[in-house]
Structure 1
Amino acid sequence: MSLFTIAAYLLAKNEWEKNEKVRRRILRDHSNPLDIPDSVISKEAFLEIVRDVQPFINPSSITIEIKLATTLRYLAEGGFQRSVGKDTDISLARSTVCKVLHEVLNALEKALCPKWIKLQMSEEEIKMSKAHFFNNFCIPGIIGCVDGTHIKITKPHQNEHLFFNRKGYFSVNAMIICDYRMRITAVDACHPGASHDAFIFSLSAAKQYLSSSYVGGDHRSWLLGDSGYGLEPYLLTPYRDANAGSPQHKFNLQHSKARNIVERVIGVLKSRFKCLQTTMPYVPEKVVKIINICSAMHNICRHYNLDAFALDVVDDFLDEEVADHSSHLQTAAVSIRDEIANNLTRIV
């Protein structure tokens, strides 16, 4: 290939790239996410998010609506940045998509997570939660359910052994707590995949809150968790090796039915935001941020009654039973569970 041919090729390539930038800007400037039909997005929800994140977004030639639509498209689709940027309604270069995601994800975490993810419940909410679970599953005092789920990530550059879980892939282990309305009330995704569910709960702000509430006098409210968690006065787990037909066995059956709601929440969360089903090519800190934002966005969807198909989520591991702790709290927890199990024999 002659030098003249190479020069002509480079000149044509530069001209094409220049025209492509112009085309993208024209498409972007004439596009408006709010022109999409109501059946596709909730404009009310979209505008509320715009108002919430606006103080955290720097003004630029790209409108805040396009920036937000770009980020939401990635979260919902799970495609990589190049496919998101090529969308005719977005028309951004891959490098620009990267910068937009960085800016908007930071804004979304600051604006949405404190507003939409709250473990604290009002007296009316607590009353309604307890009534819901008792009327449907005959277990009193339930204010929520807890479970963990693994989000795949690429091999991190540091401490990779901590993120390699027993299933054989790299992940972060996200603790999810939900209420009877399938809203996420707490999320803790800061721990690597090798961390056990019970370990994550023991270090979480949720346990500190529930423990302080129990010590403060609320002795009739608790979460439900599987056998991967330790029995606490505010966290009831199933009996081990319960005999069929026994009060303990009946308790386990009702416990399993009631706790199914958190598994459904995790399934809906991953169905809404398919980025959580993929192997995320980001550092763990950014993955944690995405999980937090998706949890807040899930609650917004629940608030605006936006439907999603539930994904059948298979537990990443078989539950590993945790040794009970010997303490006055453990004794109280055993008494609470025994009392409920004995009462179930008269109800169920």
Structure 2
Amino acid sequence: MFNNVDLYFENSVVERTTAKLLRQRRFIRDHSNPMELSSVLFKENFPLSKDAFMYVLDSIKEKCPTNLSSSISPMLKLCCFLRFLAHGSYQQTVGNDFELGIAQPTVSLIFKEMLPILESTLCSVRIKTDITEEQKRTARRNFFTRSGIPNVVGCVDGTHVAIIAPCENKHLYVNRKGFYSINAMIACDEDMVIRRVDARYGGSSHDSFVWNNRALKTYLEQTYQKGDHNSVYLGDYGYPLHEYLWTPFRNALPGTVESNFNKKHAKARNVVERTIGVLKCRFRCILGERKLRYPPSKATVIVNVCCALHNICKQYNVNDPEEETFVDVVVPLEPVEGNFSGTAADHRRRQIANALS
């Protein structure tokens, strides 16, 4: 039998739970339009500005399914989805946020619905490798001003996104640091706009393997064969040297022309490292503080969507998060094997190194 203390405790719990539900329902009723929040509070809760948010909402709202409760508008669904991307919290935490007040099962349904919609609607439109001649000229000019290296239109690098152990082929996702991840390769221009992303491969994959199996290599190869010899990407030691992909000299001695080229190369390539830093700080679900608790295929889509939303933020001039808060999941790579000495790409690289000295 219950004594008076037990009854008091039970009633107190019921009262607190009821009060919480009433507060959540009252907020949804009175704040069904998150645009009523101040610009500062809006950006604190969601990683986009109001203008960028409305662009995304207008792009997807006609595609939002109606199988959820009609009280949950496309706007609140998008807010819920962005809240997860921005903070990387568990679904229950996202749902219990005062700004949303949505139960965890509903958050799960929203995420399942919104993820493929955002990928199919935004990724192919917002992430484009092909750029205009005017954009190429602007990129070459800016990279040359920054580093002195000519003909550079973009940079490429890889970053690891931590995930939980997958159910199948676990060995493909264990990286050299011993944790499970996917190796996401990011290519960007001088304005930190992402031009290509490939997050299909497990953490055990070397950057050179991902490069050799990605569309960016094919695109640059075809562009070069068509006669465009003045559009080059920069990559680090983990990539193979090509006429259209320049990497640093290996084992360069201090004070040599090769060492000087490597310093200029690193200065230019820093933009892709900063891009990855901003991307992960803006969408902390991929930062590594909390592993993505999804299978690799879904983690790939999450990375793709984050990159598309990042580009939207750049277009709408959304302030970048503080870069000093970024701690990347660094997995040191062995330099790619191969002897490039004497090749056409090496000859061109040496010409530039001599010109820079």
* Length-normalised TM-score, structure 2: 0.89
The Cα shift of 1:190 comes to 0.6
Query: Higher mean Cα deviation, 24-33 or 202-211?
Result: 24-33
User: What secondary structure, in the 3-state scheme, does the structure 2 residue paired with 1:336 have?
Assistant: helix
Residue equivalent to 2:46: none
Gaps of at least 5 residues in structure 1 are none
Within the candidate set 283, 286, 297, 2:295 is matched to 283
Letter in 2 for 1:152: A
C-alpha contact (below 8 Å) 2:280/2:326 kept by paired residues: no
Aligned-partner residue type, residue 291 of structure 1: V
Q: CA RMSD in A?
A: 2.5
1:323 counterpart = 2:330: no
Percent identity, aligned pairs only? 41
Could you say which residue in structure 2 is the equivalent of 1:91? 101
For residue 146 of structure 2, what is the aligned residue in structure 1? 136
Q: Which amino acid aligns with 2:246?
A: L
Say which SS state the counterpart of residue 338 (structure 1) adopts: helix
Larger CA deviation: 250-259 vs 24-33: 24-33
1:39 aligned to 2:40? yes
Q: Residue 56 of structure 1: which of 63, 71, 79 is its match? A: 63
1:169 and 2:179 matched: yes
State the AA in 1 paired with 2:189.
Answer: D
Equivalent AA in structure 2 for residue 189 of structure 1: A
User: Among 288, 292, 306, which residue is 2:318 paired with?
Assistant: 306
> Per-residue displacement from partner, 1:60-94 (whole Å, max 9, x unpaired)?
33101100000111111111111110112211100
Q: TM-score, with normalisation over the residues of structure 1?
A: 0.91
Q: Deviations over 1:15-46 (max 9, x none)?
A: 99788666544432322210111234321111
Indicate how the Cα distance of structure 1 residues 91 and 312 shifts in structure 2: closer, same or farther if over 3 A, else same: closer
Q: Which amino acid aligns with 2:264?
A: Q
Matches within 5 A, 1:233-248: 233-248=243-258
Q: 2:206 touches 2:333 (CA, 8 Å); kept in 1?
A: no
Equivalent residue letter for 2:294: Y
Count of matched residue pairs: 341
- State the Cα distance separating 1:338 from its structure 2 match: 1.3
1:81–1:94 contact (8 Å) kept in structure 2: yes
Per the alignment, in what secondary structure is the counterpart of residue 147 of structure 1? strand
Q: Which amino acid aligns with 2:335?
A: E
1:324-339 superposed matches below 5 A: 324=338, 331-339=343-351
Q: 1: distance between equivalents of 2:340 and 2:255? A: 28
Q: Distance in 2 between matches of 1:143 and 1:280?
A: 32
**d(CA) in 2 for partners of 1:283 and 1:18?**
36
Question: Cα distance, 1:312 vs. partner?
Answer: 4.0
Deviation at 1:343, TM superposition (A): 1.0
**3-state DSSP of counterpart to 1:161:** helix
Q: CA offsets per residue over residues 93-127 of structure 1, 9 Å max, x none?
A: 00000000111111111111111111111111100
2:169 alignment counterpart: 159
Question: What SS does the corresponding residue of 1:112 show, helix, strand or coil?
Answer: helix
1:267 to 273, 277, 281: 277
Aligned position for 2:218: 208
Contact 2:277–2:328 (CA<8 Å) still a contact in 1? no
Q: Give the deviation of 1:57 after TM superposition.
A: 0.6
Deviation at 1:11, TM superposition (A): 11
CA contact (8 A) 1:266 1:313 kept: no
C-alpha separation between the residues in 2 aligned to 1:232 and 1:313? 31
CA contact 1:154–1:279 (8 Å) conserved in 2: yes
SS in 2 for 1:206: helix
Cα offset, 1:286, TM superposition: 1.2
Following superposition, the deviation at residue 276 of structure 1 comes to 1.0
In the aligned structure 1, how far is the partner of 2:338 from the partner of 2:153?
Answer: 22
Which moved further from structure 2: 20-29 or 80-89? 20-29
Q: Distance in 2 between the 1:252 and 1:159 partners?
A: 38
CA distance in 2, matches of 1:234, 1:122: 17
Instruction: Give me the whole-angstrom Cα distance separating, in 2, the residues matched to 1:287 and 1:130.
Output: 34
State how far apart, in whole Å, the 2-side matches of 1:314 and 1:109 are: 24
Unaligned 5+ segments in structure 2 are 44-48
